[in-house]
Amino acid sequence: MLHGHGDDGYRHGHEIKADFSTNVWYGGEPAGLKDYLFNQWPTINRYPEVLAESLAAQVAAHHGLMPAQVLISSGTTESLYLVAQAWAGGSSTVLTPSFAEYEDATRLHRHHLTFLAWNELEADTQFASDLAFICNPNNPTGSVLALETITTLLTNNPQTVFVLDEAFIEFTTSISTAVPMLAQFDNLLIMRSLTKAYAIPGLRLGYVLGPPALVARLTQYKPPWTVNALAAAAGNFLFANYNQVQLLLPQLLADKTALVSALRSNTGVEVLPSHTHYFLAVTRRGTAAELKRWLLTQHGLLIRDAANFRGLTSAHFRIGTRIPADNQLLIDALATWTALPA
């Protein structure tokens, strides 16, 4: 799906005062990263490392893994398309609602697809597919799957490779990463993003962790130089300064709680539970597409129309928490929307 994602304000031609459509950290890139990248500018005069090997070694050391267990990518989307290609013609189970690219990538590579609703997944669920895609925390719902459940799934389904997307793991306190499970299981791949929590989605950077054999299988399909020199340099900076560059999660989640509390007093909007700073809501009048256009044209606010997530409706939309002043703009605008004449 080339279009239909969040953060698409460039397509609408309106001034945007606050962008709630993205679930990227609103605070901007870490201090010092911009100057560091400017100093790396001469690296663009030559080809980058073919597989960003230096960054892979840094990531491996950070996670206590071997470099052979790491594949650097130009973001999670490239990672999952590589997975789909490496198992081309196979079968996949996709939990829904979730990131549409799981379905798009597997369809492109001729997978037989099975869909399983997130709320129907149990620890004792049996899978008959080669792959199972699970986003944890989930996008767009903010739901989480307990690590104990994942352990049971991996144990009971050794024939299925579980592709665990942890692109938003930095945005919740409800679960921790499944990376330690790589020491125990050989049917686990973990996709991580370096763009969401550090506010650099324009650089495109992520990585896959897994057993050496599975990472080698993905590497066979990896084009050279997909991670540009500046993106790789950004990754080097992030891991070299890891403890100093983490987002202010307690404040972000506190602001989310305040935003949700205010919106729940609005009778025209239903807010759904979430373990992250982003969450789904349902408009009780009109459609999410209509609400999106109205908020953009009348208030300069952008939300994510979530109707194109499999399993959701035309009334669903997603909100990513911002600073309190921006959040208040949305609270006031949605109150006006609810009060409009029928």
pLDDT (tens digit per residue) in 234-289 = 999 999 999 999 999 999 999 999 999 999 999 999 999 999 999 999 999 999 99
Peptide bond into 137 cis (omega under 30): yes
For tokens 């990585």, name the residue. 207
Q: Which helix (H) or strand (E) holds 134?
A: strand 131-135
Phi, psi for residue 14 in degrees, rounded to 5: -120, 150
Q: Which residue has the tokens 């104990």?
A: 148
- Mean pLDDT over 2-30 rounds to 74
Would you call 65 helix, strand, or coil by DSSP?
A: coil
Q: Of all residues in the chain, what percent carry a pLDDT higher than 90?
A: 93
Reply yes or no on whether the pLDDT at 309 is more than 70. Answer: yes
d(CA 194, CA 229) in angstroms, rounded, equals 15
Q: Round to whole Å and give the CA distance between 321 and 86.
A: 36
CB 83 within 8 A of CB 64: no
Type of residue numbered 165 = D
**In the chain, which residue ranges form alpha helices assigned H by DSSP?**
33-39, 53-63, 76-86, 100-108, 147-156, 212-219, 229-240, 249-263, 288-299, 324-339
Q: Is residue 5 scored above 60 in pLDDT?
A: no
Residue type present at position 247: L
Ordered by where they begin, the domains of the chain are: 9-27+247-339 (3.90.1150.10), 33-244 (3.40.640.10)
22-74 pLDDT tens trace:
999 999 999 999 999 999 999 999 999 999 999 999 999 999 999 999 999 99
